[in-house]
Amino acid sequence: MTDAGTTQREASRFLAVLDGAAVSPPPIWLMRQAGRYLPEYRAVRAEAGGFLDLCFDPARAARVTLQPIERFGFDAAILFSDILVIPHAMGRSVRFAEGEGPRLEPIDAEGIEALEVEGVVARLASVLETVERVRGSLPASTALIGFCGAPFTVATYMIAGRGTPDQAPARLLAARQPERFAMLIDRLVEASIDYLVAQLDAGADAVQIFDSWAGVLAPPSFRRWSEEPIARIVAGVRARKPGARIIGFPKGIDRAVAPFAAATGVNAVGVDWTVPLRAVRDELGGRCALQGNLDPMLLVAGGPALEAAIDDILEAMAGARFIFNLGHGIVPETPIAHVEQLIRRVRG
Ligand code: CP3
């Protein structure tokens, strides 16, 4: 570790938790913290053109990454990008229809075989430039989180061509043609390793793997299609970047957090609001940090309900390795005053 790295690590409360410490008050950042609930984001978004244009514009993407840090002073910034830049870089058509979410050309058997893994990092050079710019502008005490989607979640969008409520198209392909599905997952594992290593090389201090749809899988399928590919990504990244700090976010896995932590070796597990923090904390016994898990709707609602929920989380996690976050992304309807209220309450 270089001197600069040591100094930075000591200064960041967020990285201290990933490295094994319990920090009080806990560090805080919010999933989707750069987004439409911020007027300054909407302004940059409007001048950028399409959403992907913004993701591939290093100057603007760096600006929106920094906006929530400047406004709220979160302990970590998260790279402004999207999990679907990977299928885009693998040669698939991806677009974001205004107000409708992502649209991809649904992938078939030939499409899976034609996926390009080599060259993914080169095609994401502009995102890596964003990482460099952001790390260069952030205070040393603010960590920078890079990310990718977990193979299963990315595959669900590639197969259905859009978001669906229960990921039936991906579950059907996995059930009907497990070898074909495995080929898609394997390619995504390889591309994700290359991409996360490149983000760490460009200056990310930690990376998060978003498995937003892990919860739709039956337990054996969850282990095969979510947990095991994430474990391979963690091992593949650490083989090239020993000690790389990695957060897993397997949304919807209920009580299976400790087995997930053991199987993947992540430094922290992000949990949604349905996960019983106290029970999971006891099961983990400090071997892995927890991150979460306020219901984003409570942040929309505000008031005494929000304060009570924050206090419950702080009480459940007092003295433990914990990073305060939401249980999923902040929604556009969230009042900025409620985010301020949250931060004040967490920081006491
Ligand atoms: O957290 C951050 O601030 C960093 C940026 C980030 C975005 N997407 C920006 C974004 C991150 C980490 C993501 C991850 C992502 N993208 C996930 C995993 C996390 C999750 O939310 O479950 C998923 C499933 C996607 C795919 C995706 N991107 C969807 C389904 C949508 C449409 C839904 C929506 O909110 O509009 C997006 C678009 C998107 N990604 C927006 C932002 C800020 C909104 C687009 C806009 O500004 O018009």
**DSSP reduced 3-state for 254:** coil
Q: Is 36 in the active site?
A: yes
Residue 323 banded pLDDT, cuts 50, 70, 90: very high
Where do the domains of the chain lie, and which CATH numbers do they carry?
Answer: 3-347 (3.20.20.210)
As a whole number, mean pLDDT of residues 251-266 equals: 96
**DSSP reduced 3-state for 329:** coil
Site to substitute for ligand 1 among 29, 31, 32, most atoms within 8 A of C-beta: 32
Residue nearest to atom 33 of ligand 1 (CA): 101
For the purposes of burial, counting CB atoms within 10 Å of the CB of 162, is it exposed (0-12), middle (13-18) or buried (19 or more)? middle
Q: Is 45 in the active site?
A: yes
Q: Is 157 in the active site?
A: yes
Is this model's pTM higher than 0.90 or not?
A: yes
Question: Is residue 255 scored above 70 in pLDDT?
Answer: yes
Q: How many angstroms separate the alpha carbon of residue 32 from the centre of ligand 1?
A: 7
Residue nearest to atom 40 of ligand 1 (CA): 82
Q: How many angstroms separate the alpha carbon of residue 94 from the centre of ligand 1?
A: 13
Residue nearest to atom 34 of ligand 1 (CA): 101
Pairing of strands 246-250, 268-271: parallel
Question: Is residue 5 scored above 50 in pLDDT?
Answer: no
Residue 11 banded pLDDT, cuts 50, 70, 90: confident
**Angle at the Cα of 122 (from 76 to 57), degrees rounded to 5?**
55
As a whole number, mean pLDDT of residues 304-328 equals: 98
Q: Give the model's pLDDT for residue 98.
A: 82
Q: Is 157 annotated as contributing to ligand binding?
A: yes
Q: Is 71 in the active site?
A: no
Residue 282, CA distances (Å) to 156, 286, 291, 319 in order? 33, 8, 15, 12
Residue nearest to atom 31 of ligand 1 (CA): 101
Instruction: Give me 263's structure tokens.
Output: 């199987």
Q: Is 221 annotated as contributing to ligand binding?
A: no
The interface predicted TM-score of the complex, written ipTM, equals 0.94
87 lines ligand 1 (CB under 6 A): no
pLDDT per position as a tens digit, 154-192: 999 999 999 999 999 999 999 999 999 999 999 999 999
For the purposes of burial, counting CB atoms within 10 Å of the CB of 221, is it exposed (0-12), middle (13-18) or buried (19 or more)? middle
Q: Is 262 annotated as contributing to ligand binding?
A: no
Cis amide prior to 267 (ω within 30 degrees): no
Q: Is 320 annotated as contributing to ligand binding?
A: no
Residue 261, CA distances (Å) to 96, 265, 322 in order? 33, 6, 14
Q: Long-range contacts: 159-165, Cβ < 8 Å, 24+?
A: 159/106, 159/107, 159/184, 160/106, 161/103, 161/104, 161/105, 161/106, 162/101, 162/102, 162/103, 162/104, 163/101, 163/102
Residue 100 banded pLDDT, cuts 50, 70, 90: confident
**Ligand 1 atom at minimal distance to the Cα of residue 35:** 43
- C-alpha dihedral sign at 79, 84, 90, 91: negative
211 lines ligand 1 (CB under 6 A): no
